[in-house]
Structures are given as structure tokens and as C-alpha cells.
């Protein structure tokens, strides 16, 4: 896909640059910043887009180019949000608009900021904790363990997750025990206990494969916490994935979900942000707020 995208872009007269790690990404962005590039088209996964968000959070408003996000990873949550999935049709639509002299529609892209005393603030889009973090950790370890289609193909992550589910449901292997967490959502309440799931985002996720947030409250941060005291997670899963929360799915049932301007978690030692793994101090609040606003382009339909 990268080869095909390169050929199409170069044929249209666009510059193409390849980055392979965070160091080369930052070096390329520094060079584009020196030139004050106004538009960047990016074929990448959520992890690379996370790195972009971190970079632009440090430079905005000094430099904030418009970004066309094309899905080049596995989950592709952020590119899906802006019609960048599938990548090749989206690229062809963008190139057709370029040839016709039609500007691409620009929309704001708000980052999720995670702050904790004594640690550098993080910027990204999708936070995952508790068992969801464990799932991300398992898939990351599988990819890092070596080569082969079962580790690096599109099938690798579903394979690891299905294997984990079978071991848990069929062979009754116990789930990892997490420490108690206090989840506070400004204007939404508080939930305390061992958590099965923690997830947060600033995205609407209308085109994502999942959207596990209740439409309650107001604010830029969307958040869901599900405690071990909640009803069966497997039984609720279809509703959760589509955000179809009913009136009984509330704090009294071990579920805290909705919108807020500020969320705090205390007791979290590790989490994933856009598929990247990070540590936290469980003794201090981990604070979620809206971060910086980036400029995202949407390919013409």
C-alpha cells in the first residue's frame, strides 16, 4: 500500500518522505516546520498519529499545518474519523480534488490531554485502561516477539484477542487482578473499585468499530468506566460497543459514562494511549482534559 500511495503521490507532483521511527519522524517534521509547510498528507497508523499529536502539541500555535490522515495501521481510529479509511480510495479522492483545484474540507481535531504531577503531559486520542490496556499490551508483546504473518499481519491482533477470550471463557483462566481505582467525572459522578474497562477520547467515533460512551453530560472528554461490580461484561458488550446505554447502566450498576470537561483517575499504574503503552503513578490523580486543536482535512466524498 505504501508503494502504491507513493507512486500516485509522486505522479501528482507531491513530495514523498518515508519515516521509520520516532527519531526520523521528528527530524522530518522539524524540516517541514522550517519550511512552514502548510499541508501534510500522512499514511500511518494511530501510533504514528499519536506521535504527531505530541509533536504539534509542543509547537502549536507556532506551526499547525492541515493534516490529511490516511489509514495505514491496524485500528485506524483517527483516520476513520476523517474519512481516511480505506486509505487508497481516500487518497484517490484527495488527488482528484487537488487536480480539480477543489480545497479539501477542514475540520478541528481536538487532542485528549493526560496530565499527572511530576510527569510530562501526553496528547493523543484514545485512552485505554484496565482489561483494555491488558489487551493492548498482549497484542503489542506479540508483535514485538518476532516476525511472521501471525505477528504482523492484519490477523495478528484478532488472533491474540480471540485466544485470550477462549482461555478466559472456555478454560476459565482468571483475568488479571487490577488495583482499586477511583474514577471522578466532573458533573457526572464518581465510581470506585476494581475496574474491568476504562476508556476515554475526544473523538466522536461515529465511523469507528466501537463507540462505548453514553450520551450524557456535556464536555469535550468522553469517558467510560466499568467496575467489576457491574453486570456481566460479556452480556453488556453489544450495547457497550455501540454506545447504547440504557437508564440502568449507571453508577449504581457500576458504570460511569458520559461527557465532561475533566476526568480524574486515581490508582492507575499503566495505560495505553493510541496503542502506545505508558506508566503512571497510582498514588496521584491522572487528569483528562481537552488538549490542543489540530487541523484535519477530510477527502471529498
Residue 243, number of CB atoms within 10 A of its CB: 17
**Cα–Cα separations (whole angstroms), residue 176 to 134, 140, 261:** 8, 17, 31
The whole-number pLDDT of residue 165 equals: 59
Q: Give CA torsion, residues 128, 132, 263, 255, to 10 deg.
A: 160
Q: Which of 270, 254, 286, 237 is nearest to 115 (CA)?
A: 286
Please name each of the domains of the chain with its CATH number: 2-110+294-298 (3.40.50.10330), 126-273 (2.60.200)
> CA–CA separation, 82 vs 105, rounded Å?
10
> CA–CA separation, 63 vs 49, rounded Å?
16
The whole-number pLDDT of residue 208 equals: 87
> CA–CA separation, 134 vs 152, rounded Å?
19
The whole-number pLDDT of residue 60 equals: 77
The whole-number pLDDT of residue 216 equals: 93
> CA–CA separation, 216 vs 290, rounded Å?
17
The whole-number pLDDT of residue 171 equals: 47
Q: b/e for 132-147, b at 16 or more Cβ within 10 A?
A: bbbbbbebbebeeeee
pTM of the predicted structure, to 2 decimals: 0.89
Which DSSP helix (H) or strand (E) runs through 264? strand 263-266
> CA geometry: angle at 106 spanning 81 and 296, to 5°?
45
Residue 18, number of CB atoms within 10 A of its CB: 9
10-residue mean pLDDT profile of the chain (301 residues): values are 95 95 94 96 95 92 94 92 96 96 96 96 96 80 65 58 55 66 96 94 92 95 93 77 86 94 97 94 97 94 75
SS3 at position 8: helix
**CB-based burial of residue 161 (10 Å sphere; 0-12 exposed, 13-18 middle, 19+ buried)?**
middle
> CA–CA separation, 301 vs 170, rounded Å?
45
The whole-number pLDDT of residue 175 equals: 58
Peptide bond into 86 cis (omega under 30): yes
The whole-number pLDDT of residue 169 equals: 52
**CB-based burial of residue 282 (10 Å sphere; 0-12 exposed, 13-18 middle, 19+ buried)?**
middle
The whole-number pLDDT of residue 238 equals: 81
Handedness of CA 207, 63, 72, 131 (dihedral sign): negative
Q: Is-contact 176 134, C-beta < 8 A?
A: yes
> CA–CA separation, 243 vs 245, rounded Å?
6
Handedness of CA 171, 173, 174, 176 (dihedral sign): negative
Amino acid at each position: 500500500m505504501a508503494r502504491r500511495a507513493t507512486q500516485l503521490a509522486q505522479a501528482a507532483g507531491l513530495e514523498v518522505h518515508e519515516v521509520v521511527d520516532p527519531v526520523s519522524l521528528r527530524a522530518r517534521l522539524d524540516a517541514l516546520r522550517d519550511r512552514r509547510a502548510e499541508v501534510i498528507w500522512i499514511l500511518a497508523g494511530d501510533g504514528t498519529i499519536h506521535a504527531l499529536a505530541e509533536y504539534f502539541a509542543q509547537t502549536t500555535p507556532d506551526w499547525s499545518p492541515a493534516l490529511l490522515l490516511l489509514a495505514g495501521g491496524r485500528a485506524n481510529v483517527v483516520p476513520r474519523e476523517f474519512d481516511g479509511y480505506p486509505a487508497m480510495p481516500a487518497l484517490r479522492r484527495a488527488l482528484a480534488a487537488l487536480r480539480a483545484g477543489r480545497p479539501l474540507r477542514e475540520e478541528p481535531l481536538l487532542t485528549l490531554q493526560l496530565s499527572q504531577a511530576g510527569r510530562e503531559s501526553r496528547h493523543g486520542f484514545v485512552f485505554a485502561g484496565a482489561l483494555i490496556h491488558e489487551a493492548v499490551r498482549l497484542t503489542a508483546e506479540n508483535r514485538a516477539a518476532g516476525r511472521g504473518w501471525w505477528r504482523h499481519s492484519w490477523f495478528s491482533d484478532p488472533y491474540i484477542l480471540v485466544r485470550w477470550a477462549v482461555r478466559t471463557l472456555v478454560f476459565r483462566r482468571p483475568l488479571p487482578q487490577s488495583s482499586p481505582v477511583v474514577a471522578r467525572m466532573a458533573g457526572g459522578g464518581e465510581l470506585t473499585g476494581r475496574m474491568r474497562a476504562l476508556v476515554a477520547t475526544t473523538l466522536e467515533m461515529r465511523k469507528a468499530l466501537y463507540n462505548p460512551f453514553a450520551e450524557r453530560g456535556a464536555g469535550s472528554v468522553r469517558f467510560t468506566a466499568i467496575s467489576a461490580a457491574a453486570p456481566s461484561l460479556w452480556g453488556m458488550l453489544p450495547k457497550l460497543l455501540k454506545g447504547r446505554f440504557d437508564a440502568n447502566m449507571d453508577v449504581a450498576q457500576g458504570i460511569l459514562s458520559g461527557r465532561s470537561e475533566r476526568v480524574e483517575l486515581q490508582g492507575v499504574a499503566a495505560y495505553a494511549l493510541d496503542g502506545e503503552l505508558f506508566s503512571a503513578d497510582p498514588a496521584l490523580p491522572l487528569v483528562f482534559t481537552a488538549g490542543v486543536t489540530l487541523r484535519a482535512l477530510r477527502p471529498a466524498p
